Amino acid sequence: MKNVDMLVVGAGIFGLTIAERVANELGKKILVIDKRNHIGGNSYSEIDTETGIECHKYGAHIFHTSNTIVWEYVNRFSKFTNYQHRVYSVHNNEVFSLPINLGTINQFFRANFTPDEAKKLIANQAKDAPEVPKNLKEQGIKLIGQSLFEAFVMNYTAKQWQTSAEELSPDIIKRLPVRYNYNNRYFSDVYEGLPKNGYGRLFKTMLDSGGEKITLRLGTDYFNDNELREFTSGGGLTIFTGPIDQFFDYKYGELSWRSVMFKKETLPIHDFQGCPVMNYADLEQPFTRIIEFKHFHPERTSNGYSKDSRKTVIYKEFSKEWKKGEEPYYPVGTRDDQEKLKKYQQLAKQYPNVVFGGRLGEYAYYDMDVTFLSALTMFKNIVTDWYKKHEN
Ligand code: FAD
Ligand code: UDP
């Protein structure tokens, strides 16, 4: 570990952002490690060799943000397409548009309500929900009323989380907008798009921008490498983006996660479902959604980017219980988890040379833009200060 000023554990968005900033702003030498054989963490994408279609290895990732600093930052490393995400949901063998909008409401109730009429109806259906919802069920009913909740959220959420909606945080569903107009864009952010040449390329450009100041070591697990751990215990600045409970050897018990499993199918047809993401709201289908990747880049298909337009790649997404050692995807965040997390965060204060960041390090359900912002903020507020203190 000679000539290393900072160790970054995890080459996901959080780790790469800190590494890029520290290399280019502070001129330090950084070692970035990841236990996987690629950079980019869960946001990674790569080209499927058989079809030429770009697949998001860990599930559909759409970049969206209203934060200009984040948008300008990511645009330094890649151009973005003008992709706009739209999602549909199958319920009772019928296709509805999501998020819940006036079109969904009118189709569901077989009506032609005006925005005000629809608002009145939903308010009436939501009248029993408490003013301040304590859990996902109360929040869902407050947002869209009992009938729409039962149709589009209750069973989908049961499949996704396999925890009762009364046990889940209201925040999970708060991120879904409800619209009393016909706007069926999934996100309401100011900026949205996909990296023109893929996430994989974006992350590589970030890393390469650090030149020789950043060294990358893939296939390296922090917990199996004594030299790396000695760097940390010897006081070296360490950015840790793995699970915070694992760092402390699960001293207060495990934080709970949901995992996801993807069943990939390459089909000999031009278009399987006509859109990138189709959700399945009922229990009849065991998967939560199907992703058809070619629809994320229509601009590529039309200019012949896809190798064989007669083929398509779909991922069926299944939610899965998480067990220690498996890939953690979604923090469950029960009350018990929140209490454990507080204890771990308290313990972390005794490690001033370790910055816990990202979705695993902070045990948070962060979108990519929030992860970028969190890393940029920690760089400014913590990492820069750390060097100032240690160089004087
Ligand atoms: P990660 O990407 O998880 O990176 C952490 C890295 O640390 C990993 O590469 C891991 O291998 C490595 N690591 C862990 N432990 C060790 C160890 N012991 N040693 C070495 N390396 C280690 N966000 C959006 O904005 N839009 C979306 O559409 C979207 N869709 C999503 C869909 C799914 C199914 C999921 C689960 C998330 C989605 N997200 C989306 C969120 C997005 O994936 C995260 O914001 C982002 O991946 C967080 O980056 P990170 O660096 O914090 O963590
Ligand atoms: N959700 C739902 N029905 C849907 C889509 C989402 O009930 O058709 C709920 C579900 O609880 C899910 C949450 O809303 O966990 C957030 O969904 P989103 O698609 O934003 O999250 P993602 O799984 O893509 O992170």
Report which protein residue has its CA nearest ligand 1's atom 30: 61
Token pair of 237, please? 């600045």
H or E segment and range at residue 63: strand 63-65
Question: Does the C-beta of 296 come closer than 6 Å to ligand 1?
Answer: no
Which of the two residues, 242 and 388, has the higher pLDDT score?
242
User: Which carries the bigger pLDDT value, residue 95 or residue 171?
Assistant: 95
Q: What is the pLDDT of residue 167?
A: 82
CB of 138 within 6 A of ligand 1: the answer is no
Which of 138, 153, 192, 291 best tests ligand 2's pocket when mutated (most atoms within 8 Å of CB)?
153
pLDDT of residue 169: 83
* 351: CB partners within 8 A, 6+ apart: none
Instruction: Return the closest-CA partner of residue 115 out of 126, 101, 127.
Output: 101
The answer, yes or no, to whether residue 304 has pLDDT greater than 60, is no
Q: Looking at the predicted structure, is the pLDDT value of residue 196 above 70?
A: yes
Is the pLDDT at 301 greater than 90, yes or no?
Answer: no
Q: Mean pLDDT over residues 42-55, rounded?
A: 93
- What confidence category does residue 306 fall into, taking pLDDT thresholds of 50, 70 and 90? low
Tens-place pLDDT, residues 352-384: 999 999 999 999 999 999 999 999 999 999 888
Asked if residue 392 has pLDDT above 80, the reply is no
Name the token pair of 157: 């959420």
Distance CA(158)–CA(149), nearest Å, equals 12
- pLDDT tier for residue 87 given thresholds of 50, 70 and 90: very high
300 is catalytic: no
Closest atom of ligand 1 relative to the 36 alpha carbon = 11
**pLDDT of 164 above 90:** no
> Residues 86, 185, 258, 330: which is the catalytic one?
258
Q: For ligand 1, say whether the CB of 327 is within 6 Å of any of its atoms.
A: no
Cα separation, 89 vs 156, in Å, equals: 10
Alpha-carbon span 339 to 336, nearest angstrom = 5
d(Cα 10, Cα 73) in Å, to the nearest integer? 20
Q: What is the mean pLDDT of residues 125-132?
A: 90
Question: Is 217 part of the annotated catalytic residue set?
Answer: no
Mean pLDDT computed over 119-138: 92
Mean pLDDT for the stretch of residues 131-146: 92
Question: How far is Cα 118 from Cα 307, in angstroms, rounded to an integer?
Answer: 46
Instruction: Confirm whether 289 is a catalytic residue.
Output: yes
Q: Whose CA is nearest to atom 13 of ligand 2?
A: 173
First to last CA, the chain: 22
Tell me the mean pLDDT in the region 301-312.
68
Has 179 been annotated as catalytic? yes
Q: pLDDT at residue 236 above 90?
A: yes
Q: Does the beta carbon of 291 sit less than 6 angstroms from any atom of ligand 2?
A: no
Ligand 1 atom closest to residue 223's alpha carbon, by position in its atom list: 18
Tally of CB atoms within 10 A around 381: 10
Q: Tell whether the model's pLDDT for residue 274 goes beyond 90.
A: yes
Average pLDDT, the chain: 94
Range from 76-80, 161-165, 249-253, 338-342 carrying the lowest mean pLDDT: 161-165
For the cut 90, the answer to whether the pLDDT of residue 37 exceeds it is yes
Of 159, 77, 25, give the one whose Cα is nearest residue 372.
Answer: 77
How far apart (Å, rounded) are the C-alpha atoms in residues 180 and 346?
44
Count other Cβ atoms within 10 Å, centred on residue 46: 15
Q: Which residue carries 């100041």 as its tokens?
A: 213
User: Residue 386 class from Cβ within 10 Å (0-12 exposed, 13-18 middle, 19+ buried)?
Assistant: middle
pLDDT of residue 308: 65
**Residue partners of 45: CB distance under 8 A and separation at least 6:** 54, 55, 56, 57, 61, 198, 199, 200
Would you place residue 194 in the very low, low, confident or very high pLDDT band (cuts 50, 70, 90)? very high
In this prediction, residue 387 carries a pLDDT of 87
Q: Which helix (H) or strand (E) holds 148?
A: helix 136-148
Per-residue pLDDT for 303 more than 60?
Answer: no
Which three-class secondary structure state does DSSP give residue 97? strand
Question: What whole-number distance in Å separates Cα of residue 160 and Cα of residue 368?
Answer: 20
Pairing, β 30-33 against β 6-9: parallel
Residue 89 Cβ < 6 Å to ligand 2: yes
* Closest C-alpha to ligand 1, atom 14: 242
For the segment 306-319, the average pLDDT, to the nearest whole number, is 86
**Gap between the Cα atoms of 175 and 66, Å rounded:** 14
Q: Do residues 64 and 372 touch, judged by C-beta distance below 8 A?
A: no
Helix (H, G, I), strand (E, B) or coil at 65: strand
pLDDT confidence tier of residue 302, bands split at 50, 70 and 90:
low
Known catalytic residue at 367: yes
The 8-class DSSP code of residue 274 comes to S
| Ligand 2 lined by 144 (C-beta under 6 Å) | no
- The two three-digit tokens of residue 192, written as one number: 């949205």
Q: What is the pTM of this model?
A: 0.94
Is 152 a pocket residue for ligand 2 (Cβ < 6 Å)? yes
Specify the pLDDT at position 310.
Answer: 85
Q: How far is the CA of 88 from the centre of ligand 2 (A)?
A: 12
Asked if the model's pLDDT at residue 254 lies above 90, the reply is: yes
Kindly tell me if the per-residue pLDDT of 305 is higher than 60.
no
Question: What's the pLDDT at 161?
Answer: 85
What's the average model confidence in pLDDT over 289-296? 96
* Cα–Cα distance measured from residue 207 to residue 221, given in angstroms and rounded to the nearest whole number: 19
